[in-house]
Amino acid sequence: MYQYTEQDKAFVQARVDEFADQVARYNEGMLDEDEFKQLRLRNGLYYQRHAYMLRVAIPYGVLSSKQLHQLAHIASTYDKDYGHFTTRQNIQYNWPDLQDVPKILQSLADVEMHAIQTSGNCIRNTTTDPLAGATADEIEDPRPWCELIRQWSTLHPEFNWLPRKFKIAVTGSRNDRAAVQVHDIGLRLIKNKDNETGFEVLVGGGLGRTPHIGSVIRDFLPSADLLTYLNAILRVYNQAGRRDNLYKARIKILVSAMGIDAFRTAVETEWASSKNEDDTFSEETINALKAQFPLAPKLNGATDQPPAEIFSHPLFNQWYKSNTREHLDTNRRIVFISLKSPFAPAGDITSEQMHTVADLAEEFSLSEIRSTHEQNLVLPHVPVSELFRLWKALNGKRLATANIGKLSDMIVCPGLDFCSLANAGTISIYDQINARFDNLDFQYELGDISIKISGCMNACGHHHVGDIGILGVEKSGEEWYQLTLGGHAGNKAALGKRLGKAIPKVAVADAIESILNTFIRERIENETFNATFERVGIAPFKETVYATAA
Amino acid sequence: MLLQLKNTSETDHRAVPDSAVESGSIPNSGHFIERENNWTFYPDDAALPEDHAFTIVSATRFLERAHNNETLPTGVCLRPADSTTALSDYQQQLKLICIEFPVYTDGRGYTHARLLRKRLGYSGELRAVGDIRADQMLFMLRSGIDSFDCINQPDIALLKQLTARFEHNYQPSYPLPDRAIHSM
Ligand code: SF4
């Protein structure tokens, strides 16, 4: 993975010093509340319902064992002994003390990490496929490109005060696991007919209160032009994006107001003038980055047989089937670590568990860990022969919940318990669903299905793209929930359809049960929920839910 | 008083009035000087003086006068929503272009500055005016701005410290105007 150069180190150190100085000036009254807020946001520091919250960047979801140990250390030293993985592959600490934040940033810098631009109206952490560099369906490893984007977007002088936040996602695979269609800019690595690598560029996707699927602005962008083209898009957005209304300020609103064709013309016109001067990069630069992401060494011997222990250990077998995936080296497997146990809120992990995962990654996965936008972790390169030992170790720390892609593998935003923007709780809904469907065999029968929960219209829980989306709304001071069905985030992204009027908190699990029963009734053979929904539409679900929950 | 970057463009044609004084009273003031502001902004409804030498008008008024073949002031002030390219025919005769930041969180002015310098090749004085905060000046300098008329003028010593903090930046096509300054 990417190792900091001396320049990166000096840069991040300067950023730490800068923030320490800003905190000092704030304490002395030299920075007003509002300006300090803007400055701290650009270092990931929010003020939430109860306390400060610090969001740490995990660039494109890639972590080393050393870094994860440090994140654990930060959680135990400066926070309440746990961290929370977000849907943007980052980690949040919910209880840091302001005066400790410079020290936390220093601890991060010591392991080549930072919290730069994890909030604020600027270019956020770039996300990608958590299986990058480990799957056979990949056209090219997206991580060097993500690192290039990370560097380019870091403290970019022109684009640090955009109309609104700006998120970029990259996929290098034919199967999109980075949800590129619902990002401000989505990039798909592709090959053209001459076998040259480039990007299909999408723009104007996003969730939030007005969800949009991104439109293709360019079918094929030669990879050498990546940054100059991004510069042109950002420049048009920076100039023309709305600043009068917070809710209309994202690029998706601009793109839909102008129409994709007019927007494309504006970008191409801008690009024609600036493509040779702004943010160009050399081939050596990208080649040097590529060299930092070598393939996992090929293991020899063995065959592509599953581990023998699956025949003697049913629980291991369950986990193997549910939580591991094919690696491009058939002697390795990609292992998912579920952070969706019934014992803790989705995405939460204790310091002790972090240390465990870091140690296991060192032992079994070339010291590499990935975070996923589904709020789980991945050990990308585990030898098949070590899977059983790994499983036993994970199981001992409540890290072997065998539910990846299943009903209880829900995406859940922090909601009312932590977020000052929330209309309703999300963690209690997660608990309710977990309690109702605690039978894993039932979940396996259902097959792959996603429940995604957001505490308000900002949609941090991506409810629009869940098979079942749950959105918290407020009705005369009470928590109610609006359900959507049929959303999808993969190759053909689709937004969920509204099921009907909102339902009260106590009835959520009942409604989910009705939906699942309807699915089982309508399902043909082993159809996924998505396939059944596409075939039968929303009507049968509507009928059963409102017949019982009325 | 204005803050101006020192030594950035001896070669350009900007008008640095004779009265410009380097402020000797501030030790270690680095590459900034404080200077009298000899320019006056005339709102759209105010009558213009006979002599246009140190007169600033809005971009709208400037372009209107150009359209009507009236004499042109040598200073113009761009608001965030104005277009920079509309000025391209006149940049040679302009001695001062102001970029207004009504609030420091509105980042359109950075793109204005960049386009004026790079697209139009404007080499005269480029001045940020309005709600400008010390922590943002580094980015303004890198976008091409070289003087500041701030509502709350920051301390020069602080400014020097802030603008010299990052030795490296990730956007080599947006350098500080004179890198050598920092070694002073
Ligand atoms: S969706 Fe709403 S409640 Fe949930 S984290 Fe985002 S802003 Fe907060």
For chain B, which residues make up each domain, given as ranges?
Answer: 2-183
Same domain, A265 and A143: yes
In a domain, A317, yes or no: yes
Compute chain A's Rg from CA coordinates: 23
Of the two residues B25 and A222, the one the predictor is more confident about is A222
In a domain, A539, yes or no: yes
Report how far Cα B113 is from the mean position of its chain's Cα atoms. Answer: 8
Considering A395, A423, A449, which residue would you say is the last residue of a domain?
A395
Which positions in chain B touch A22 (Cβ < 8 Å)?
A: 135
Count Cβ atoms below 10 Å from residue A241 Cβ, excluding itself: 23
Chain A to chain B Cβ contacts (< 8 Å) = 85
Compute chain B's Rg from CA coordinates: 16
Beta pairing, strands A127-128 & A168-171: parallel
Give me the DSSP letters along A398-425.
T-----TTSTT--EE--GGGT-TT-SS-
Same domain, A98 and A44: yes
| Confidence label for B2 from pLDDT (cuts 50, 70 and 90) | confident
Q: Which residue of B has its CA nearest to A120?
A: B105
Residue A239 confidence (pLDDT) above 50: yes
Distance A426 CA to ligand 1 centre (A): 9
Judge: A274–B171 Cβ closer than 8 Å, yes or no: no
Q: What domain range includes position A342? A: 309-395
Pocket-forming residues, ligand 1, beta carbon under 6 Å: A 413-415, 419, 421-422, 454-456, 458-461
Residue B26 confidence (pLDDT) above 60: no
Q: Which residues pair with A188 in a beta bridge?
A: A171, A200
Give the span between the Cα atoms of A375 and A413, in whole angstroms.
Answer: 10
Distance A114 CA to ligand 1 centre (A): 23
Q: Which residue of A has its CA nearest to B108?
A: A239
Q: Which residues pair with A41 in a beta bridge?
A: none
Same domain, A173 and A76: no
Same domain, A84 and A37: yes
Q: How many domains does chain A have?
A: 4
Judge: A277–B142 Cβ closer than 8 Å, yes or no: no
Instruction: Report yes or no: A143 and A53 within 8 Å, Cβ to Cβ.
Output: no
| Confidence label for B6 from pLDDT (cuts 50, 70 and 90) | low
| pLDDT of the residue at B24 | 27
Question: For residue range A476-506, what is the model confidence (pLDDT) as tens digits?
Answer: 999 999 999 999 988 888 999 999 999 999 9
The average pLDDT across A538-549 equals: 87
| Confidence label for A375 from pLDDT (cuts 50, 70 and 90) | very high
User: Closest ligand 1 atom, CA of A416?
Assistant: 3
Distance between A513 CA and the closest CA of chain B, angstroms: 47
Distance A422 CA to ligand 1 centre (A): 5
The average pLDDT across A89-95 equals: 95
| pLDDT of the residue at A230 | 98
Instruction: Report yes or no: B117 and B86 within 8 Å, Cβ to Cβ.
Output: no
| pLDDT of the residue at A301 | 75
B103 Rama class: left (phi>0) / alpha (psi -120 to 50) / beta: beta
Out of B133, B161, B171, closest to residue A35 by CB:
B133
Site to substitute for ligand 1 among A452, A454, A471, most atoms within 8 A of C-beta: A454
Average pLDDT across chain A, whole number: 95
Question: For residue range A443-467, what is the model confidence (pLDDT) as tens digits?
Answer: 999 999 999 999 999 999 999 999 9
A61 Rama class: left (phi>0) / alpha (psi -120 to 50) / beta: left
In a domain, A230, yes or no: yes
Distance A94 CA to ligand 1 centre (A): 14
Same domain, A370 and A425: no
Which positions in chain A touch B134 (Cβ < 8 Å)?
A: none
Instruction: Report yes or no: A333 and A387 within 8 Å, Cβ to Cβ.
Output: yes
ipTM for the assembly = 0.93
User: Closest ligand 1 atom, CA of A454?
Assistant: 1
Judge: A159–B135 Cβ closer than 8 Å, yes or no: no
Count Cβ atoms below 10 Å from residue B184 Cβ, excluding itself: 10
Distance between A150 CA and the closest CA of chain B, angstroms: 9
Beta pairing, strands A197-203 & A82-85: unpaired
Same domain, A179 and A86: no
Residue B80 confidence (pLDDT) above 90: yes
Question: For residue range A296-340, what is the model confidence (pLDDT) as tens digits?
Answer: 999 987 667 889 999 999 999 999 999 999 999 999 999 999 999
**Edge-to-edge strand ranges of the sheet holding A185-191:** A127-128, A168-171, A185-191, A197-203, A215-222
Judge: B110–A161 Cβ closer than 8 Å, yes or no: yes
User: Measuring CA to CA, how many Å separate A154 from each of A157, A481, B72?
Assistant: 9, 38, 41
Same domain, A324 and A381: yes
Considering A361, A395, A429, which residue would you say is the last residue of a domain?
A395
Percent of chain A with pLDDT over 90: 94
> Which of B114, B126, B163, B167 is the mutation pick for testing A, counting most A CBs within 10 A?
B114
User: Measuring CA to CA, how many Å separate A115 from each of A120, A235, A444, B83?
Assistant: 12, 24, 38, 35
Contacts of B39 (CB under 8 A, 6+ apart): B54, B55, B56, B75, B96
Count Cβ atoms below 10 Å from residue A77 Cβ, excluding itself: 13
**Edge-to-edge strand ranges of the sheet holding B2-5:** B32-35, B2-5, B147-150, B125-130, B96-101, B75-78, B55-58, B40-41
Question: For residue range A191-230, what is the model confidence (pLDDT) as tens digits?
Answer: 999 999 999 999 999 998 899 999 999 999 999 999 999 9
Q: Six-digit token pair at A498?
A: 């509204």
In a domain, A116, yes or no: no
Distance between A170 CA and the closest CA of chain B, angstroms: 20
Give the span between the Cα atoms of A141 and A237, in whole angstroms.
Answer: 28
Judge: A278–B167 Cβ closer than 8 Å, yes or no: no
In a domain, A256, yes or no: yes
| Confidence label for B23 from pLDDT (cuts 50, 70 and 90) | very low
Instruction: Report yes or no: A194 and A218 within 8 Å, Cβ to Cβ.
Output: no
| pLDDT of the residue at A451 | 97
Q: Which residue of A has its CA nearest to B105?
A: A161
Stated pTM of the model: 0.93
Average pLDDT across chain B, whole number: 83
The CATH number that applies at residue A487 is 3.30.413.10
Instruction: Report yes or no: B148 and B120 within 8 Å, Cβ to Cβ.
Output: no
Site to substitute for ligand 1 among A413, A427, A465, most atoms within 8 A of C-beta: A413
Percent of chain A with pLDDT over 70: 99
SS (H, E, C) A246-294: HHHCCHHHHHHHHCHHHHHHHHHHHHHHHCCCCCCCCHHHHHHHHCCCC
Same domain, A101 and A202: no
Residue A549 confidence (pLDDT) above 50: no
| pLDDT of the residue at B8 | 44
Judge: A161–B107 Cβ closer than 8 Å, yes or no: yes
| pLDDT of the residue at B36 | 86
Q: Which residue of A has its CA nearest to B111?
A: A158
Distance between B126 CA and the closest CA of chain A, angstroms: 15
| Confidence label for A41 from pLDDT (cuts 50, 70 and 90) | very high
Distance A455 CA to ligand 1 centre (A): 5
| Confidence label for A148 from pLDDT (cuts 50, 70 and 90) | very high
Residue B179 confidence (pLDDT) above 80: no
Minimal CA–CA distance to A368: which of A209, A44, A132, A119?
Answer: A132
Contacts of B108 (CB under 8 A, 6+ apart): A238, A239, A243, B80, B81
Q: Which residue of B has its CA nearest to A152?
A: B170
Same domain, A30 and A95: yes
The average pLDDT across B103-111 equals: 97
User: Closest ligand 1 atom, CA of A456?
Assistant: 2
Distance between B80 CA and the closest CA of chain A, angstroms: 8
Minimal CA–CA distance to A228: which of A189, A267, A192, A254?
Answer: A267
The average pLDDT across B162-180 equals: 83
Give the span between the Cα atoms of A26 and A35, in whole angstroms.
Answer: 9
| Confidence label for B178 from pLDDT (cuts 50, 70 and 90) | low
The average pLDDT across A260-266 equals: 98
Question: For residue range A151-185, what is the model confidence (pLDDT) as tens digits?
Answer: 999 999 999 999 999 999 999 999 999 999 999 99
| pLDDT of the residue at A547 | 85
The average pLDDT across A102-125 equals: 97
